């Protein structure tokens, strides 16, 4: 599906949008509800990823195909490794077979799991023969994707002795680790995180608990981008969001003050308001704890004609695509002066944005959504626009609600 986007005729917007539950929280909650039958979930994400995860958890033998869902690949690896009697092959899309899983597999093997590679060493597909895991101590490099860490933490309470996980080196993506531990605490599991050591106590049974999933802050980021590029006085209300969020991407609220967007928290809502604040020519942010919003911020800066220097982006190379290279390619097509390294991105302020450029999305939902706000400033085409269903299936409909012109080509 190829879409042609134009911005609203009135660039002073005023509307309310309800966003689906967080993919990150949904996937964690789904895994916990598979381990403990007394858990129910509300406001679950309608994303492809959450559906793939839910489906995968119901399988006990044969092939589990998780398509593009990296989170499901990592979480299900831990889940099946710890389920005695279950025997599966975990596989996915071509890109999934290029995304490393060795660090997680090695850690699980240290604990006594039985996992083997079907094709290339260190990459999916993998064969898993579920075991009753009795060892409880393992180490893991701390600067890797937090999903490896969360995969181990989520199964920890179901293990005979729980888990002591030592993180080796400088820890990145701390909010995602804390999100996992907070959900464990919510269902009554004892945890501690001191220095580089995380401990999770075993728990045979949990009391009946309802986990209410907060909406996705990374999905909110695209509306922050729209608001930043809109006329002063614009007001967009989003739900359902909490001020005390478990999600690292909620740092958006403070970052976007730099772009003239003020955030007010209401009762499970957040209201974004565009002010006439002067925006600095150069903006610097360390996104090690919130790498998923890097694309949105880079596009916002380009749309505003200001510069930025973004650091802490080393995990972007192993996402749905190499997001740094993809950003470099697509923003350059629009006329940006951009350079990237393996962990940083720099944009030099520029004037003017080219029209009707076709943006490639690389099977990456965030590429499609991060570029959409630019329709506030120019007309553009988004290739393979259906990719948004991975995390936010209603995205294009929600833009129509804001009066964006969206035409299928």
pLDDT reading at 387 higher than 80: yes
Task: State residue 62's pLDDT score.
Answer: 97
Which pTM does this prediction carry?
0.81
Domain regions of the chain by residue span: 3-20+215-408, 23-212
CA angle 405, 323, 345 (to 5 degrees): 100
Give the tens place of pLDDT for each residue, 60-81.
Answer: 999 999 998 889 999 999 999 9
**Range 273-280, long-range pairs (CB < 8 A, 24+ positions):** 273/227, 273/233, 273/234, 273/235, 274/227, 274/228, 274/230, 274/231, 274/232, 274/233, 274/234, 274/235, 275/232, 276/232, 279/304, 279/306, 280/306
Average pLDDT, the chain: 95
The residues near 267 (Cβ < 8 Å, ≥ 6 apart) are: none
Same fold, 3-20+215-408 and 23-212: yes
Give the tens place of pLDDT for each residue, 152-201.
Answer: 999 999 999 999 999 999 888 888 899 999 999 999 999 999 999 999 99
Q: Does residue 216 carry a catalytic annotation? A: no
Supply the CATH classification number for the domain 23-212.
Answer: 3.65.10.10
Task: State residue 109's pLDDT score.
Answer: 98
Query: Pick the catalytic residue: 216, 292, 360, 398?
Result: 292
Task: State residue 315's pLDDT score.
Answer: 82
Q: What tokens were used for 286?
A: 């360390």
In CATH, what class is 3-20+215-408?
alpha beta
The average pLDDT across 335-343 equals: 95
The average pLDDT across 332-355 equals: 95
Give the tens place of pLDDT for each residue, 86-122.
Answer: 999 999 999 999 999 999 999 999 999 999 999 999 9
The average pLDDT across 10-35 equals: 95
């Amino acid at each position: 599906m190829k879409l042609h986007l134009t911005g609203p005729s009135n660039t002073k917007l005023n509307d309310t949008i309800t966003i689906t539950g967080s993919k990150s929280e949904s996937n964690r909650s789904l895994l916990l509800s598979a381990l403990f039958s007394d858990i129910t979930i509300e406001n679950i994400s309608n994303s492809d990823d959450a559906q793939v995860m839910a489906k995968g958890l119901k399988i006990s033998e044969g092939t589990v195909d998780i398509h593009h869902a990296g989170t499901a690949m990592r979480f299900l690896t831990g889940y099946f490794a710890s389920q005695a009697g279950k025997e599966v092959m975990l596989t996915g899309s071509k890109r999934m077979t290029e995304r490393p899983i060795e660090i997680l597999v090695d850690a699980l093997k240290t604990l006594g799991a039985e996992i083997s590679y079907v094709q290339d060493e260190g990459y999916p597909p993998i064969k898993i023969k579920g075991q009753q895991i009795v060892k409880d101590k393992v180490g893991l490099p701390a600067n890797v994707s937090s999903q490896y860490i969360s995969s181990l933490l989520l199964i920890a309470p179901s293990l005979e002795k729980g888990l002591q996980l030592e993180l080796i080196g400088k820890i990145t993506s701390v909010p995602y680790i804390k999100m996992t531990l907070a959900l464990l605490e919510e269902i009554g599991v004892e945890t501690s995180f001191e220095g580089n050591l995380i401990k999770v106590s075993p728990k045979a049974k949990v009391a009946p608990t309802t986990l209410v999933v907060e909406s996705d802050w990374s999905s909110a980021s695209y509306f922050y981008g729209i608001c930043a590029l809109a006329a002063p006085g614009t007001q967009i209300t989003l739900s359902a969001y909490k001020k005390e969020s478990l999600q690292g991407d909620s740092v958006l609220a403070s970052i976007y003050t730099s772009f003239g967007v003020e955030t007010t928290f209401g009762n499970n809502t957040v209201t974004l308001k565009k002010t006439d604040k002067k925006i600095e020519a150069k903006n610097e942010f360390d996104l090690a704890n919130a790498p998923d919003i890097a694309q949105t911020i880079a596009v916002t800066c380009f749309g505003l004609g200001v510069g930025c220097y973004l650091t802490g982006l080393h995990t972007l190379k192993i996402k749905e695509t190499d997001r740094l290279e993809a950003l470099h390619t697509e923003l350059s097509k629009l006329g940006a002066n951009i350079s990237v390294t393996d962990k940083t991105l720099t944009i030099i302020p520029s004037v003017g944005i080219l029209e009707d450029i076709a943006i490639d999305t690389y099977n990456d939902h965030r590429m499609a959504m991060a570029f959409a706000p630019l329709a506030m400033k120019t007309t553009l085409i988004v290739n393979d626009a259906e990719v948004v269903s991975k995390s936010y299936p209603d995205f294009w409909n929600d833009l129509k609600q804001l009066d964006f012109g969206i035409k299928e080509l």
